[in-house]
Chains A and B, each alone.
Chain A
């Protein structure tokens, strides 16, 4: 039996000493929101929007379902910290220390090799953003959200907050009040980007709050493939990541949004992700949750136009002290829409992994269908898992199929593999890899390799 990995083994748990250029310090108030907005030189409407959202945040109680959030202390969090001047277009311009961080994570190299564009956010602000010339020529906009507010004020105002209103939930209200950074993408009509655009999020400091805001607009007939990753150093006090992602998929457009979440295990990851899809459009979420102390995230798709399609493919893995409370929502609001949810969960070393889902067929969803599959492996006696799917049908002409399984690693499979000369460790790893394969095969190759490496690492010491 190998050693149980120590916290320090988290590959991205390092912390760099980076002086901040500007910070609002700990805590949140109307004055701090005004300060952030003024520092960003925002238009009045955005300040008003933030303040209104803050009021809602103050009034709204913490969610009482799902994971335990009682240890979050909103007064101990730093809501805004800037570490470099402006988003640079060349890595050479990025401050040395920060550049080093991303070098260690491997972002510049990945960008050179296989990305159409890449961005990197450090604490509250985006430090680097660049897209290859050939894609820029197609009229694609790929930039940080703050710059988009300045450069594309009309397009921005038309869509911002239309998919996730600040009143949606307490954390979405907080994000609307203090948002900073994030990605803005606009893909013009009929433009298709096959190569992924990537954004990388890094929290570096202790008790930091990261509140990025992402807005993606895929115009009619266009397509985009967006990938995000995230890491943070390991500290004893918790950081908070409360992002909001809004995606608008227009008629016949396509969007795939891939996340590999690998926050360190002191991060509360409470994210609101939602897409609306018009007639003939497709939204695909590919969502991997490996890190964080606590995740609450249920990406949703509102299928609003005839024939719209939504899919969710997810993997969640919870180890010691972790609670991955994730799931998906598919809301069928138009005829002949379809959705599929495939969720794979693994709980080990006392981890808790829960699936929570909602599939709704409204009265208008005639001829629609949905397929849902939730599978869970519980690795040991300390771990647990709940599967809580709600399927609500208001229309007689639809079809819904739902299946779920919870089990331990199959002894027969283990025995079979071990009889072929594999060690128990190798056999277990192989079974888990096979279990998550429907997910990993959808990832860009480099990510699949990384995912497999991460899972192999997580599985170390899990046999005993």
Chain B
């Protein structure tokens, strides 16, 4: 990172924080993280070389927002729908909509800076305190220092929401600007709701993205989390999604990793208390020359906690896809269960796929297992379809749809299922 202008960076950071009226603790958190970036290592993602990726470019992180940014782009939502939605473009929050009934129940779904102003204590309780720590590695520190946009979602105790809350994040790549997005989801005791987020890039300027998404699930909370990531081919991205699950909390993740550029991603569920349960389902497509490496980790700390991982991926052309599945059962987590299944379908001789299913078991009264596979499309399946008069390309598409479909059908939200299928179709036609 170019920190030779360290004082300038510090000035910019302070000015930005002031401008946003951030509470003092937030500025302190940023400054402490800034001072640690250089000394901290990169995160360890097994079998992936990314030390030369431009993930630490901080320049222009805090440039002033300009009305010109929004020229020629427009965003709409269905005014009549009763859905809660936030749409952000670059650092701008373009649309914020929260049904009155949600507001009355105490639900907060807003821009992160507004939340820092209006609900500083609530944000402070969870922001990089429980799930992700600022000093884990240089990327989390970079994030803590340079965070320049995001949302905060809070669902109070015993509140149950039936309609999903939706966030749509557009990266502004008309200009040079790091996309440092923070999503903080705070599910209070016994609340339940669904949340959907989408990441997209507009325009083609090469940029860095550093997105951290934290889900804090208090006892008995139930969260259905869905995401469709489609950042652009000129964006080098780091994603970190992490759940912090307390007593009998339940978080289900459905993640579509459909970016077009190079990506490292860390999807973690920390099952910190008894009976916590997380199901992580991910699908990924890598194509062209892109590299996508996904670390999916479930850490069983609480007794009788359950962590399941199911991930299917497709690799085309000269692309690379790495699935590291990690089931870690800590001492004391008796009765814990960690299972994972990772499968990679290779569609080209020049593609590269890695499936590394890792189990780290420190406790005996547990069940843990993994299954992994990698290989090409089953020639018999292809032959069968082609003998029915279907062209080779179409047959291949059908097989892929079936392969990814086995994960998609487990995704709880119909809208997300459709969105994923649409995205896959689009990617396969490219």
Q: Is A404 an interface residue (CB 8 A)?
A: yes
Is A404 a contact partner of B346 (Cβ separation < 8 A)?
Answer: no
Given A393-B354, A399-B376, A406:B348 Cβ within 8 A? no
Is A396 a contact partner of B351 (Cβ separation < 8 A)?
Answer: yes
Is A406 a contact partner of B366 (Cβ separation < 8 A)?
Answer: yes
The stretch that binds B, out of A173-181, A276-284, A377-385, A433-441, is A377-385
Interface string of A378-412 (1 = CB under 8 A from B): 11110111111111111111111111111110000
Interface string of B338-366 (1 = CB under 8 A from A): 00000010111111111111111111111
Chain A residues closer than 8 Å to B363, beta-carbon distance: 378, 381, 384
A58 to B46 Cα, complex, angstroms? 28
* B interface residues, how many (CB within 8 angstroms): 37
Given A388-B358, A406-B361, A398:B366 Cβ within 8 A? no
Interface string of B141-153 (1 = CB under 8 A from A): 0000000000000
Is B375 a contact partner of A400 (Cβ separation < 8 A)?
Answer: yes
Given A392-B354, A395-B349, A402-B370, A385:B376 Cβ within 8 A? no
User: B interface, by DSSP: helix, strand, loop or mixed?
Assistant: strand
Q: Is B373 an interface residue (CB 8 A)?
A: yes
Chain B residues closer than 8 Å to A403, beta-carbon distance: 369-372
Q: Is B374 an interface residue (CB 8 A)?
A: yes
A392 to B374 Cα, complex, angstroms? 9
Interface string of B384-426 (1 = CB under 8 A from A): 0000000000000000000000000000000000000000000
Is B371 a contact partner of A402 (Cβ separation < 8 A)?
Answer: yes
Chain A residues closer than 8 Å to B344, beta-carbon distance: 393
Q: Is B367 an interface residue (CB 8 A)?
A: yes
Q: Which of A388, A394, A399 contacts B375 (CB 8 A)?
A: A399
Max chain B CB contacts within 10 Å: which of A383, A392, A406?
A406
Chain A residues closer than 8 Å to B347, beta-carbon distance: 396
* A interface residues, how many (CB within 8 angstroms): 34
Chain B residues closer than 8 Å to A397, beta-carbon distance: 346, 349, 376
Chain B residues closer than 8 Å to A366, beta-carbon distance: 349
Q: Is B368 an interface residue (CB 8 A)?
A: yes
B64 to chain A, nearest CB (A): 46
Q: Is A363 an interface residue (CB 8 A)?
A: yes
Given A392-B47, A407-B368, A408-B366, A398:B361 Cβ within 8 A? no
B297 to chain A, nearest CB (A): 13
A403 to B355 Cα, complex, angstroms? 12
Q: Which of B349, B351, B353, B364 contacts A378 (CB 8 A)?
A: B364
A283 to B281 Cα, complex, angstroms? 39
A396 to B358 Cα, complex, angstroms? 23
Chain A residues closer than 8 Å to B346, beta-carbon distance: 393, 395-398
Is A387 a contact partner of B350 (Cβ separation < 8 A)?
Answer: no
Interface string of B301-330 (1 = CB under 8 A from A): 000000000000001000000000000000
Is B352 a contact partner of A393 (Cβ separation < 8 A)?
Answer: yes
Q: Is A261 an interface residue (CB 8 A)?
A: no
Given A391-B355, A393-B353, A398-B376, A404:B361 Cβ within 8 A? no
**Which of chain B's residues has its CB closest to A405's CB?**
B369
Q: Is A376 an interface residue (CB 8 A)?
A: yes
A400 to B366 Cα, complex, angstroms? 27
Is A389 a contact partner of B358 (Cβ separation < 8 A)?
Answer: yes
Chain B residues closer than 8 Å to A390, beta-carbon distance: 46-47, 354, 356
Interface string of B31-65 (1 = CB under 8 A from A): 00000000000000011000000000000000000
Chain B residues closer than 8 Å to A393, beta-carbon distance: 344, 346, 352-355, 374
Given A386-B361, A389-B356, A397-B349, A406:B373 Cβ within 8 A? no
A347 to B362 Cα, complex, angstroms? 11
Chain A residues closer than 8 Å to B47, beta-carbon distance: 390, 392
A435 to chain B, nearest CB (A): 15
**Which of chain B's residues has its CB closest to A376's CB?**
B361
Is B357 a contact partner of A402 (Cβ separation < 8 A)?
Answer: yes
Chain A residues closer than 8 Å to B356, beta-carbon distance: 388-391
B359 to chain A, nearest CB (A): 4
Q: Which of B315, B350, B360, B365 contacts A386 (CB 8 A)?
A: B360
**Which of chain A's residues has its CB closest to B370's CB?**
A404
A373 to chain B, nearest CB (A): 10
**Which of chain A's residues has its CB closest to B334's CB?**
A381
A397 to B345 Cα, complex, angstroms? 10
A359 to chain B, nearest CB (A): 9
Chain B residues closer than 8 Å to A386, beta-carbon distance: 358-361
Chain A residues closer than 8 Å to B360, beta-carbon distance: 386-388
**Which of chain A's residues has its CB closest to B372's CB?**
A402
Chain A residues closer than 8 Å to B334, beta-carbon distance: 381
A285 to B46 Cα, complex, angstroms? 27
Interface string of A245-268 (1 = CB under 8 A from B): 000000000000000000000000
A400 to B372 Cα, complex, angstroms? 8
**Which of chain A's residues has its CB closest to B346's CB?**
A396
A399 to B375 Cα, complex, angstroms? 4
**Which of chain A's residues has its CB closest to B329's CB?**
A406
A403 to B371 Cα, complex, angstroms? 4
Is A396 a contact partner of B361 (Cβ separation < 8 A)?
Answer: no
**Which of chain B's residues has its CB closest to A384's CB?**
B362
Interchain residue pairs with CB less than 8 A apart (24): A363-B349, A378-B366, A381-B365, A383-B364, A384-B362, A384-B363, A387-B360, A388-B356, A389-B356, A390-B354, A392-B47, A393-B344, A393-B353, A393-B374, A395-B346, A395-B349, A397-B349, A400-B355, A402-B371, A402-B372, A403-B372, A405-B368, A406-B359, A406-B369
8 closest cross-chain pairs (CB), A and B: A399-B375, A396-B346, A378-B364, A402-B372, A387-B359, A406-B368, A405-B369, A384-B362
Given A380-B364, A386-B359, 14 additional A-B pairs, CB 8 A: A347-B364, A386-B358, A387-B360, A387-B370, A388-B358, A388-B360, A390-B47, A393-B355, A396-B349, A398-B375, A401-B372, A403-B371, A405-B367, A407-B368
